[in-house]
Amino acid sequence: MTDPAEHPRYSISVAAELAGMHPQTLRMYDAKGVVSPRRTPGGTRRYSDSDVARLRKVTHLTTVLGLSLSGATHVLALEQTVVELLGRVDALEQQLDLQARRLHQEVSAVHRRYRRDLVPYTPAKHPLRWTSRS
């Protein structure tokens, strides 16, 4: 949990106020798995900044865009999938760049080796003359 946005810091009443919702709505969302806040050892819900942002996103999707709660949950899951896939693509691009640099270095090394072995051609200064004897 190195991301500060994931640090659980808000009680349910504070998170509800920040998200513009009633605390009972947050309890229902927790029960349905829409937002799953962390819990203290005593069982109290603690919401992170990411949780509050997710709650605001659900509000936007359901009120402004008119999605059902189930639809909003699917949209959030798809967005998370896109984020994960973009991370994988970035990692693969980095691996590809690393391999391309390695191959370029290997090709350059081969070119340097065979260039050392080559001797430039210089034509003789006095070419031999062929005379024809008949």
- Per-residue pLDDT, 2: 73
Flag whether 89 is in a domain. yes
CATH code of the domain covering residue 44: 1.10.1660.10
- Residue 93, domain extent: 4-100
Confidence of residue 130 (pLDDT cuts 50, 70, 90): low
Flag whether 126 is in a domain. no
Span 50-70, average pLDDT = 96
Residue 1 has pLDDT above 60, yes or no: no
Flag whether 16 is in a domain. yes
Flag whether 109 is in a domain. no
pLDDT tens-digit readout, 32-50: 999 999 999 999 999 999 9
Based on the structure, what is the number of domains in the chain?
Answer: 1
Residue 75 has pLDDT above 60, yes or no: yes
**CA-CA distance, 80 to 99, in Å (whole number)?**
29
Q: In the predicted model, what is the mean pLDDT of the chain? A: 90
Q: Kind and range of the H or E element at 130?
A: none
**CA-CA distance, 43 to 22, in Å (whole number)?**
20
Flag whether 62 is in a domain. yes
User: In Å, what is the CA distance from 97 to each residue of 46, 88, 100?
Assistant: 42, 14, 5
Flag whether 8 is in a domain. yes
Flag whether 133 is in a domain. no
